[in-house]
């Protein structure tokens, strides 16, 4: 069985995007446990672990790439250092997606500054290239045009607003912070949602909701009104639950024809 796996080599590959000219160099080892040849593995079962390549796939599709096996070896160390040497030769090219390699002589990582200028289309998509990918793409740092967004619990950077219920206010001259309007939260609450449901469905933090209640911005229901909307929220003690269950069992016995023995004596 071991000899069968030795026949399947490790390999170094190169993935090139046709539209942008960007390429990524990597190596692959895990295909051996599936006994897959490099040709049956690359771009058929394996699409690299690079986040940058995955972003390009999401933008252009898998058919917009050329996948090549550029080196094979049965020696794992030889495969790795061959990969690092190929990256070192290409890393100064702004089309190269790889941003680091390991120098074999020092065993230290070397980083590149190439390709830090990006093209963005204002829709949250960006690519690195020496020329514009097409109409509507603007050149600039990948942060260009982005704003800071918050849904009450999470913060992310994006070019577009997450939704109509979000409003912006200037936190500083350099960035924009977003929060949901109180009247929107009130409309969610008035529709019958509890504070817990609003927190779960819309990602609003419980601290922010409680702050709105304390400030009187969010008008909440009384316990009686809440029970009328959702009776399941009524909480009973253990003894109350036992008494209810006992009453139900007694009613069921009456329905089945049971009568107390004292009734039979009197009749």
The reply to whether 245 falls in a domain is: no
76 touches 10 (CB < 8 A): yes
**Please, which residues bridge with residue 251 across strands?**
none
Domain that includes residue 222, residue range:
182-229
pLDDT of residue 189: 84
CATH (domain of 93) = 3.40.1440.10
Residue 70 pLDDT grade (very low, low, confident, very high; cuts 50, 70, 90): very high
Most trustworthy range by pLDDT among 42-56, 147-161, 244-258: 42-56
Residue 205 pLDDT grade (very low, low, confident, very high; cuts 50, 70, 90): confident
Across 36-40, average pLDDT: 93
Per the model's pLDDT, the better-predicted residue between 266 and 245 turns out to be: 245
Per DSSP, helices labelled H in 102-236 are 182-190, 195-202, 206-214, 223-229
Per-residue pLDDT of 155-199, as tens digits, reads 545 555 555 444 443 343 333 445 677 788 888 888 878 888 887
The reply to whether 211 falls in a domain is: yes
Across 52-72, average pLDDT: 92
pLDDT of residue 140: 60
Residues 110 and 189 in one domain: no
Per-residue pLDDT of 119-166, as tens digits, reads 666 665 666 565 676 777 776 654 445 555 554 544 545 555 555 444
Ranking 37-46, 107-116, 137-146, 179-188 by mean pLDDT, the lowest is 137-146
CB proximity list for 95: less than 8 A, separation 6 or greater: 20, 21, 22, 23, 115, 128, 129, 130
Distance (Å) of CA 232 to CA 29, 183, 226, 235, 236: 55, 27, 10, 8, 10
Residues 188 and 102 in one domain: no
Residue 244 has pLDDT above 60, yes or no: yes
Per the model's pLDDT, the better-predicted residue between 18 and 167 turns out to be: 18
Total structural domains within the chain: 2
Per the model's pLDDT, the better-predicted residue between 149 and 59 turns out to be: 59
Of 92, 114, 136, which one is at a domain's C-terminal end? 114
The reply to whether 8 falls in a domain is: yes
Nearest alpha carbon to residue 123 among 139, 146, 154? 146
Residue 263 has pLDDT above 80, yes or no: no
Ranking 12-21, 138-147, 235-244 by mean pLDDT, the lowest is 138-147
Helix (H) or strand (E) holding 168: strand 166-170
The reply to whether 177 falls in a domain is: no
For 197-211, give one letter per residue: b (16+ CB within 10 A) or e.
Answer: ebbeebebeeebbee
Of 60, 90, 114, which one is at a domain's C-terminal end? 114
pLDDT of residue 149: 54
Across 212-228, average pLDDT: 78
The reply to whether 251 falls in a domain is: no
């Amino acid at each position: 069985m071991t000899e069968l796996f030795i026949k399947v080599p490790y390999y170094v590959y190169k993935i090139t995007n046709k539209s942008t000219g960007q390429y990524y160099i990597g190596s692959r080892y895990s295909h051996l446990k599936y006994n897959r040849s490099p040709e049956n593995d690359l771009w058929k079962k394996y699409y690299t672990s690079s986040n940058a390549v995955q972003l390009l796939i999401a933008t252009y599709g898998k058919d917009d790439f050329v996948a090549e096996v550029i080196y094979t070896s049965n020696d794992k160390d030889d495969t790795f250092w061959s990969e690092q040497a190929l990256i070192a030769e290409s890393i100064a090219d702004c089309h190269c997606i790889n941003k680091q390699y390991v120098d074999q002589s020092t065993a230290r990582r070397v980083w590149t500054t190439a390709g830090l200028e990006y093209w963005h289309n204002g829709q949250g998509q960006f690519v690195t290239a020496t020329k514009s990918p097409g109409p509507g793409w603007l050149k600039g740092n990948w942060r260009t045009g982005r704003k800071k967004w918050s849904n009450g619990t999470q913060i992310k950077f994006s070019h577009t607003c997450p939704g109509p219920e979000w409003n912006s206010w200037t936190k500083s001259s350099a960035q924009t912070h977003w929060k949901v309007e109180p009247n929107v939260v009130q409309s969610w609450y008035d529709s019958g949602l509890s504070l817990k449901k609003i927190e779960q469905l819309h990602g609003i933090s419980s601290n922010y909701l409680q702050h709105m209640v304390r400030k009187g911005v969010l008008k909440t229901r009384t316990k009686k009104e809440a029970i009328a909307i959702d009776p399941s929220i009524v909480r009973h003690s253990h003894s109350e639950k036992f008494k209810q269950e006992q009453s139900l069992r007694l009613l069921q016995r009456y329905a089945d024809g049971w009568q107390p023995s004292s009734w039979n004596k009197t009749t």
